Amino acid sequence: MARLDHVGINGRSVCSLDSGQVRIDLENIHRFDVLDRAIRLVSLTFARQLAFAFGHADGLAGRDRVSPVLAAAKTAGTPFSAILVEAGDGAEQRPLAALGRRLQPALERILAKHGVLRPRRTELARLHVLLPAPGSAWLGLSVPDNASPWPMGIPRLRMPSQAPSRSTLKLAEALMTLLTPAELESTMRPGQRAVDLGAAPGGWSWHLANRGLRVTAIDNGPMSPQALATGMIEHLRADGFTWRPDGGIDWLVCDMVEQPARISRLMADWVASGRARRAIFNLKLPMKKRLEELERCRRLIEDRFRQNSLGFDLRMRQLYHDREEVTAYLAPH
């Protein structure tokens, strides 16, 4: 709601805490292009998916679940490039998610037959079919650059067999979520230098090494044999808050357990000073006053960049594979 207030859009939120779904009924803006410019997923820290609703379908409890969705989809007045059938991620919503997986191919087949789905028209908006409860669906639309490509915004990642810890999934999702494919391709390349602060046992270092980066892992604790076996990681037993490299590096990553304000100052100093071109880091927010602490971290980073008269790009997201923290990407611009 704070984001809507900031852009002058009035609305009323309808929350479902068990499902993790939030619907916002708007009062004064109904044009998709205006909403798409005003509300960007990249600026929403605690949202994994974003769609702008235009219709509702009932009668999905019978044998024919496709026809009600087809009728509602036609009211949008535009064809779609893809369909994402979505449901909540909680235990109570698992039957709905299973229904969605069964419903997806039937919807794609029938909507394509009626000209509502045109997969080759990639410039078209995508159709979201959200199943909030048995027998009904909300329909919405999104464009690829303002929504997650995965249903419910969840990349289903497999744990690599050689990874030293599950933390490698956190960095993998962060890179996929916080950067576009084009940004990732242009900014992370084999042969680059990276530093991993608080590296042990080496899940993040291992992921970077497997992307071809040469990693300096900083931690007083031991690194796992799987990480060191890559031959791309140098382990230095040192304090992550005081150690500095001899020259500049391409990537800084940090997953240290420390106060979020202290981590924010450290990351801002590395990037604003030019020691690191860009950084990805975790913030361990307190259970209470998470938003307040997050805004405090934003201000600390802004103050540090202002000292060097620099602008910055800060993106924050609560990831699916790291729901206890907030992960951030930071770069100058």
Is 285 in contact with 325 (CB distance < 8 Å)? yes
- CB-based contact 55:136 (threshold 8 Å): no
Cβ contacts of 187 within 8 Å, gap of 6 or more: 179, 250, 277, 278
Question: How far is 14 from 17, CA to CA, in rounded Å?
Answer: 10
Q: Which of 74, 113, 284, 289 is catalytic?
A: 284
**How deeply is 184 buried, as exposed, middle or buried, from its count of CB atoms within 10 A (0-12, 13-18, 19+)?**
middle
pLDDT at 288: 83
Q: What are phi and psi of 325, to 5 degrees?
A: -135, 175
The yes/no answer on whether domain 2-153 falls in CATH 3.10.310.30 is no
- The per-residue pLDDT for 8 is 61
Is 74 an active-site residue?
no
Beta strands in 64-207 (DSSP E): 83-86, 126-133, 136-142, 193-197
Query: What's residue 31's pLDDT?
Result: 73
3-class DSSP state of 3: helix
Q: Tell the residue number behind the tokens 């020691």, with chain if given.
A: 275
CB 222 within 8 A of CB 200: yes
Domain coordinates of the chain in residue numbers?
Answer: 2-153, 167-332
Output the six-digit token pair for 155.
């990349």
pLDDT, residue 316, reads 97
96-122 pLDDT, tens digit per residue, is 999 999 999 999 999 999 999 999 999
Residue 219 tokens read as 């931690």
- pLDDT higher than threshold 90 for residue 90: no
The mean per-residue pLDDT over the stretch 138-166 comes to 92
Q: What is the pLDDT of residue 12?
A: 58
Cβ atoms of 248 and 227 within 8 Å: the answer is no
Which of 149-158, 190-199, 279-288, 320-329 shows the highest mean pLDDT? 190-199
pLDDT at 15: 58
Is residue 79 a contact partner of residue 167, using CB atoms and an 8 Å limit?
Answer: no
The residue that leads in pLDDT, 254 or 2, is: 254
pLDDT of 2 reads: 58
For residue 295, name the pLDDT band (cuts at 50, 70, 90): very high
Q: Is 115:150 a contact under the CB 8 Å cutoff? A: no
pLDDT tens for each residue of 25-55: 665 555 778 888 888 999 899 999 999 988 9
Alpha-carbon distance 242 to 256, whole Å? 13
Confidence of residue 57 (pLDDT cuts 50, 70, 90): very high
CATH 3.40.50.150 fits 167-332, yes or no: yes
User: Are 139 and 76 within 8 A, CB to CB?
Assistant: yes
Residue 1 has pLDDT above 80, yes or no: no
Cα gap 110→118, rounded to integer Å: 11
- pLDDT at residue 86 in the model: 94
Nearest CA among 89, 87, 88 for reference residue 100: 87
Query: pLDDT digits over 201-247, tens only?
Result: 999 999 999 999 999 999 999 999 999 999 999 999 999 999 999 99
Per-residue pLDDT at 330 exceeds 90: yes
DSSP-based three-state secondary structure for 176: helix
pLDDT at 117: 97
Share of residues in the chain with pLDDT > 70 (%):
91
